[in-house]
Structure 1
Amino acid sequence: MSIPVKRTMFAADFLKPDESCENLRKKDDVAETAEDDEDAINRIRNNAACKIQCWWRGYRTRKIVKIRKRFKEELYGMKKIRKLKRPNQNANSIMEMYKKEMLKKKLDEDFINLINDERTRLLQVRSPWMMEDISDHIRDWFKEFYEKTENFHPYPDPVKKGTVLVVIDETMTPMEFQQTLGKKPMTKEEKKKLRDKEKKEKKKKKEKLKLIKMKEAKRRKKLRDAGIIDIGYELTASQPIEKIEETMKTYAKDWRNVDEYLNKNHDPIKEWVTEDELVKIHQEVRGLVDEYMRVEYELLREALAKDNNEKYKALKVKYPKKKKNRKKKKPKDMTGDRTLESLYHELKDGGIIEEVSHKDFDEFIADFNFVADDTRNEDDLTTWGPAKGDIKMVIQESMLGMGEFNIPKPKSLLLIGPLNSGKKLLCQIIASELDAVFMNLSPEKTYKYADDLKYFLHVVVKVARAFQPTIMFFDEAHRLFWKKIPPEAVNIKPRLLGPSIASKILKPLKKNDKIVVVGTSSMPWAAKGGIKRAFQKVLLIPKCDYGTSFLLWLELMTENAPDDMPEYAYSALARVLQAYNSGDINDNINQTLSIDRKMRLKNEALDPNEFLEYFISKNEPPILPPEEKLMVKFNKWFGKSNKLQKLRNSYIAQKLAKASKRK
């Protein structure tokens, strides 16, 4: 299609004749010739229109190609879409969460009201018929036994769930009962011998299972020492995982034919409520009917004894024993006369409880190690080890137990790594994601409580339990177990809380408590062995690899640079500055792309040397990446504190010893 173009009237005389105007005569001649020659005018018009259309189509095509290229780069991860951070984004998310919680409360109330109403209706309508059906069934059972054996089966005791045994056919048949009538009752000695025999059989079975497990363990150890992996051996699943799997199966079964899209008001399914309440009412009614029918059963036995001229003796009824509520002696509460709010404000005023800004795991930019298996060497079993993305995933999985599910979790976690590698950021992210109380128990915060340490620890543990989830944070935790205290750190008494972490903080915590002790350390080798007992799980934050470095430059430059900034060499920057820590790269981008520099970007293009200048010339002394010796030191200490790393090191040592013997 041709694009409409505004036609120029070449015949119009826009110039007025003036003696001072040069070349006026020439233009008049051109106008006269143009008026006479219409073909020349049309040719000029067509040439002008074609020229405009050509330039317009070229511009439009280049724009489409640029948009497609940008889309492909974003799709492949070469470019990042800029995230617009709105100032009220956090407030809106909190408001939305509050609305959802209020809606959930309303739906829960409606559900409870429906259960109560349905229960009342079923008790009025169905319970009389249930009682009649149960009593008729028990009477038929009496009649069946009397017609076949001229006697009555012993009435099931409440301990064994009463007449439920009749329904599930766990009572004796008339023939079996007839055989027991002629037998003499067992004496006490015979009963004792039978019990002893059963105990011996159970003991033999346990010993056999133990021997089988011992043999299996020895066989697997031989294979492991020989470097063979037993694929046929399967680890047993934990109880929480089994429960989750069962829940998933029941969910898939129950909700297979339910279409929730039609249920816009989130109304409960009434049929399921009716079924559940009928089961509960049936159990309650059966208990009542059992008591009434037991009286009828005794009357029948008494009448039968009179007919047979026998002595009547009522059967003893075994009821389930009621559990005695033994009151445990509560330890003396040092702050029993004070409210929890006052204790909370006391810690907050003392600087122990800190407010953490809203952060999420997306702010810890990291990539996974995708080449670990490809770089494995069969001779020495060396790999590149986990990347920062792997450590981030492990931390996320470790914190699952801090939620609603009772999943096993570590009571204490220690993050080690070089300075500015993101350890403290991870601790703040954990507290922010969990919406937890953040207690900073670092030495510079706690040295002032040295005079009454027992009271301070009591208040900390009490407040932590009351306001769960809670994060207890120790910055540079190696200071709590310092081998030798530097003179400048004597005033803050760094070893004050070190011995108390295991005994006074971790020991009182239960499995279900949503409390975690988190520490960071950049010099773990400077601490005594007590640090390994205080922290159950240790994670080493590795230095940046290419993937993490590339993501850092891509994400941070996209956030800090303006929208109209041209394409930049993220890959080259990531490769050259790969060894630097993530915190150093973040500071570099924030300071290099200052407000003044952003304003000059249109006139002065950004030079990669500016990022190098920040590390080398703008700081004294210059910022350098962590040395290889330092990372070797971290790996060596981590290898001594990690169980799996210990096994790996011992296996490598055995393999090297065998190889040296062969030579």
Structure 2
Amino acid sequence: WRDSSAHGALEDLLVDEHPPTAPRPLKDRLQVFQGLATFYLKYLQIFRSLEAVYDQIVHPQKRRMVRHVLDGVMGRILELKNEMVELEFSEFHYFDDVLQDLKLTPEDLEVPIPQYFVRERMRVLRDREKMLAHVMAKGGHIEQEVSVQTMCLEEAVRVLQVCERARQGRLRHRFMKEIRQAEEEGSQAKSQTPISTLDPDQAATRIQKVWRGYSQRKRTRRERLEEMVFLGMVEPCLPCLPSVAQLKAQQVETTRRLVQEENEAEYQRALVSIKESVRTVDGPDLRETLQEQIRQWFIECRDATGKFPDFPNAEDGGSTAIFAQKTPDQVAAELAAKEEEKEKKRKDNTNKDKKGGKDRKDQKKDKKGKSKQKKGGKEDGEEEEKGWKMPPSNFLPTVVEGNKMYKGELESRYDDHSNVDELMRQEVKNLKLAVDREKGKKKKKGKKGGKKVKSRSALNSTLESLYEELVLEGFLIRPLNIKLSEYIGEFSYLGTTLRQADIEPMPSLSDVRQLIALYGILPLGSQSVHQKAPLMKTLLLAGPGGVGKRMLVHALCTETGANLFNLSPRNLSGKYPGRSCLQYLLHMVFKVARQLQPSVIWIGDAEKTFYKKVPKLEKEMEPKRLKKDLVKVLKSVKPEDRVLVVGTSRRPFDADLKPFCKVYRKIILIPRPDYASRLVLWRELLCGGGARLTPSLDLSSLAKVTDGYTQGHILQAVRQVLIPRRLAQQNTRPLTAEEFIPPLARQDPVYKEEEEAFKMWYGKTPLGKKRARAAKAIEEEGESGKDKDKRGSGKKTGKEEKNKKKNK
């Protein structure tokens, strides 16, 4: 069902993307954004469905077809996101009205992360983890982390005796204390309360009264709690153990994974066996028929043009280009066009001395062209400048092709003509030597190929040594196992309302999570998406301390299986001194990152690399060492290199803005959590720490009181309160909100001054300046429109006065 619904939605969307008539340019920015947002949300839903389909299908060929469409849909989502950023000059967008029109919820905005990013590379990741552990053990890192003290047997027995005697003494003291308290309470009760005799009926009535009151109060509390849970005011107490349905789903999933692996292995074996059988059984007959057809084609070209044509290169398709159903006349026309191009090049080389005369003629032609444009072509140019059209996409052809493959419209073709191509190339070469007296020109290419093989072997031989050196020096580290879903944050429900009131809202943590998935995880996870999508080499995460910047870096590596390199100024301090050694380090890091891609190069405290003025306490660390060489190395990163440089900064306003923004072109400003995010954060952290959510624990008040505190502050307070002893006392003494106030009071929150400093700094970035200029232009247009309305109303009143005078 999910497969058919995703295919139907994709077909409808492709019809909207390719209308029968060319759409007119749009001038209303709001209308353009609404269209882009609608496409973006629809592609997100298709992406979510296709990811589930790819995860559940066990047929290898169908999985490849779905994967082809899935990569195209991911790339199209990134293209639409880039168009929205260029249109609104902001990284954060709000789709409240579009969600309402499409009948979607805020959860539908979450960008799904395909599971095959890590699952299909599990064997490679395990081997890499083993190699990393082996290198760390070889360098002595494990011994430094876990220090074991050895002692003799007598000393160990003495320590155990001391601990056991102390434990027994504490238990004896507690028992004696309880006995003493019980005796004191009994003696006080005997001395204060006189012995009274009651009628049995009166005593029974009192007992019944107390019991009925107790039972009714208990029933009332239970019913009130059920009502609050039904209304959503109190979190239900969910069982910790998984249900039967969850266990069955996990069992089905593991079985499906095994079936997928078995089918994939069988498919790979079948590819080899069928290919070998075709080569041995049908190969000779196919080779002879292909050779006869190619010879006939060469003879026809010889009769049409008078000479034998060149055999197509392997890059042009080889013999497949010959079977493109081209007639000899078409071949002759192509050859004539090539000869004309050669003659033009020769004429251009011989007529260099006449350059001045040509320039004058070109100037005259330009003047004539400009005059023609002024007369007749001015309106068309103005319409093209004012209107907005959807730019061409690099991924729509991929999606269309995958859609046709799903329908079965594409025929399978067997294009393995490599052996025939080599034979026919040699035959054509012999024919040319015999008839046209032409020499072959492929010796140089063979030499170049040999050099490449040598360089590759050298790279493979040095990769392990470079990897080991980076691990031992502490530049290649093991990322923490953190999922992106663990970065807790809620949707911004006031974003559209504030923007309509000309107030720029602070982004929510949910928006930050979506940007990390779009800009980091999807391009790093898929090679085809990274090559065709808008190239992004660097990413900056800026925000106050404790908002989860380092956590997002580790989540990037976990979700994509990427290596993590640490080039922070603190980690570089005292290592590889000198300019030449630093260049060697950068070359080594980027070389290993390319060979073992995907890779993330993390630069913590990124503002220190671009300090305006280095503080005295940090001069020995030399934080600005990477400033010049980092820009040069980033130029060598190509679209096929899945390498992302991620910088984190808690004080970006300390850096020199121009070179800082020149390196980090994509900037994500991470704010402190709002009320909704804090409420969800408190609930998740408390449940994860083993706390029981009861009505006595007011989470709403906690979320309101902690305004200005970051996720790190809240996590630290939860850890200080939820110690094992306090968790064991929850049955007799439930948790209250007041217990978390003292550990929070000992921490400094994010004050408004610091938040305003981040806003001011972001307004000075290139994207912030563009947004300010766009807002100013809109205001000026509004004021000019008001002035025109006033002038128009004045003219109408003047005409009315003249008409009144005439009537009089």
Bin of the TM-score, shorter chain as denominator length? 0.5 to 0.7
Secondary structure of 1:491 counterpart: coil
Length-normalised TM-score, structure 1: 0.63
Secondary structure of 1:586 counterpart: helix
Bigger drift between 99-108 and 600-609 goes to: 99-108
Q: Report the AA paired with residue 236 of structure 1.
A: P
Contact 1:434–1:469 (CA<8 Å) still a contact in 2? yes
1:603 to 2:737 alignment: no
1:280 to 2:403 alignment: no
Report deviation, 1:426: 0.9
Report deviation, 1:99: 7.7
Structure 1 residues 423, 290: CA separation in 2 closer, same or farther (over 3 Å shift)? closer
Give the one of 513, 516, 523 matched to 1:392.
513
Report deviation, 1:314: 6.1
Specify the alignment match of 2:750 in structure 1: 626
Bigger drift between 527-536 and 127-136 goes to: 127-136
Question: In 1, Cα distance between the equivalents of 2:677 and 2:238?
Answer: 18
Superposition map of 1:476-555 within 5 A = 476-503=605-632, 505-529=633-657, 530-555=659-684
Question: In 1, Cα distance between the equivalents of 2:320 and 2:572?
Answer: 65
Q: What's the CA shift string for 1:192-234, capped at 9, x where partnerless?
A: 699999xx9xx99xx999x89998785566x5xxxxxx5xx32
Question: In 1, Cα distance between the equivalents of 2:459 and 2:285?
Answer: 51
Report deviation, 1:540: 0.5
Q: What's the CA shift string for 1:52-83, capped at 9, x where partnerless?
A: xxx9xx99x9999988986885xx99568577
Question: In 2, Cα distance between the equivalents of 1:660 and 1:80?
Answer: 57
Give the one of 388, 391, 399 matched to 1:236.
391
1:650 to 2:804 alignment: no
Question: In 2, Cα distance between the equivalents of 1:392 and 1:486?
Answer: 34
Superposition map of 1:295-310 within 5 A = none
Q: How many residues align?
A: 522
Specify the alignment match of 2:11 in structure 1: none
Report deviation, 1:589: 1.6
Structure 1 residues 358, 339: CA separation in 2 closer, same or farther (over 3 Å shift)? same
Specify the alignment match of 2:570 in structure 1: 444
Q: What's the CA shift string for 1:252-293, capped at 9, x where partnerless?
A: 22499xxxxxxxxxxxxxxx8xx533x535x97699789999
Q: Report the AA paired with residue 557 of structure 2.
A: A
Contact 2:661–2:766 (CA<8 Å) still a contact in 1? no
Q: RCO (CA 8 Å, sep 6+): is it higher in 1 or 2? A: 2
Structure 1 residues 243, 571: CA separation in 2 closer, same or farther (over 3 Å shift)? farther
Question: In 1, Cα distance between the equivalents of 2:779 and 2:234?
Answer: 43
Superposition map of 1:39-118 within 5 A = 106-107=265-266, 109-118=268-277
Structure 1 residues 393, 135: CA separation in 2 closer, same or farther (over 3 Å shift)? closer
Report deviation, 1:578: 3.7
Superposition map of 1:150-229 within 5 A = 157-159=309-311, 168=325, 170-172=327-329, 219=383, 223=386
1:348 to 2:475 alignment: no
Report deviation, 1:364: 0.9
Give the one of 721, 743, 765 matched to 1:614.
743
Contact 1:415–1:519 (CA<8 Å) still a contact in 2? yes
Report deviation, 1:555: 1.2
Contact 1:159–1:318 (CA<8 Å) still a contact in 2? no
Contact 1:470–1:516 (CA<8 Å) still a contact in 2? yes
Superposition map of 1:248-397 within 5 A = 248-254=402-408, 275-277=412-414, 279-280=415-416, 324=445, 326=448, 339-377=462-500, 381-397=502-518
Structure 1 residues 583, 132: CA separation in 2 closer, same or farther (over 3 Å shift)? closer
Q: Report the AA paired with residue 373 of structure 1.
A: T
Report deviation, 1:606: 1.6
Q: What's the CA shift string for 1:366-395, capped at 9, x where partnerless?
A: 2232331233236xx323143121122111
Question: In 2, Cα distance between the equivalents of 1:585 and 1:453?
Answer: 43
Question: In 1, Cα distance between the equivalents of 2:459 and 2:661?
Answer: 34
Structure 1 residues 657, 65: CA separation in 2 closer, same or farther (over 3 Å shift)? closer
Structure 1 residues 216, 114: CA separation in 2 closer, same or farther (over 3 Å shift)? farther
Give the one of 763, 771, 792 matched to 1:639.
763
Secondary structure of 1:609 counterpart: helix
Question: In 2, Cα distance between the equivalents of 1:167 and 1:364?
Answer: 54
Question: In 2, Cα distance between the equivalents of 1:115 and 1:131?
Answer: 20
Secondary structure of 2:481 counterpart: coil
Q: Report the AA paired with residue 235 of structure 1.
A: M
Give the one of 404, 420, 423 matched to 2:526.
404
Q: What's the CA shift string for 1:158-192, capped at 9, x where partnerless?
A: 5478898798363459xxx9xx9xxxx99x99996
Structure 1 residues 387, 376: CA separation in 2 closer, same or farther (over 3 Å shift)? same
Question: In 1, Cα distance between the equivalents of 2:754 and 2:549?
Answer: 17
Question: In 2, Cα distance between the equivalents of 1:157 and 1:189?
Answer: 16
Question: In 1, Cα distance between the equivalents of 2:742 and 2:779?
Answer: 46
1:127 to 2:249 alignment: no
Question: In 2, Cα distance between the equivalents of 1:289 and 1:190?
Answer: 28
Question: In 2, Cα distance between the equivalents of 1:214 and 1:82?
Answer: 72
Structure 1 residues 483, 565: CA separation in 2 closer, same or farther (over 3 Å shift)? same
Question: In 2, Cα distance between the equivalents of 1:490 and 1:510?
Answer: 34
Specify the alignment match of 2:120 in structure 1: none
Contact 1:366–1:389 (CA<8 Å) still a contact in 2? yes
Report deviation, 1:615: 1.7
Q: What's the CA shift string for 1:353-372, capped at 9, x where partnerless?
A: 22222111012112232331
1:413 to 2:508 alignment: no
Q: Report the AA paired with residue 403 of structure 1.
A: G
Contact 2:696–2:734 (CA<8 Å) still a contact in 1? no
Report deviation, 1:572: 3.4
Q: Report the AA paired with residue 754 of structure 2.
A: L
Specify the alignment match of 1:433 in structure 2: 559
Structure 1 residues 119, 385: CA separation in 2 closer, same or farther (over 3 Å shift)? farther
Question: In 2, Cα distance between the equivalents of 1:71 and 1:611?
Answer: 27
Larger Rg: 1
Bigger drift between 106-115 and 392-401 goes to: 106-115
Percent identity between matched residues is 21
Question: In 2, Cα distance between the equivalents of 1:458 and 1:190?
Answer: 46
Question: In 1, Cα distance between the equivalents of 2:497 and 2:716?
Answer: 34
Q: What's the CA shift string for 1:444-481, capped at 9, x where partnerless?
A: 22121253342244234324433333222222111112
Report deviation, 1:433: 2.4
Question: In 1, Cα distance between the equivalents of 2:413 and 2:464?
Answer: 42
Question: In 1, Cα distance between the equivalents of 2:308 and 2:539?
Answer: 54
Structure 1 residues 642, 286: CA separation in 2 closer, same or farther (over 3 Å shift)? closer
Structure 1 residues 559, 116: CA separation in 2 closer, same or farther (over 3 Å shift)? same
Question: In 1, Cα distance between the equivalents of 2:425 and 2:309?
Answer: 9
Structure 1 residues 641, 154: CA separation in 2 closer, same or farther (over 3 Å shift)? same
Question: In 2, Cα distance between the equivalents of 1:128 and 1:338?
Answer: 39
Question: In 2, Cα distance between the equivalents of 1:163 and 1:350?
Answer: 52
Question: In 2, Cα distance between the equivalents of 1:120 and 1:331?
Answer: 31
Secondary structure of 2:749 counterpart: coil
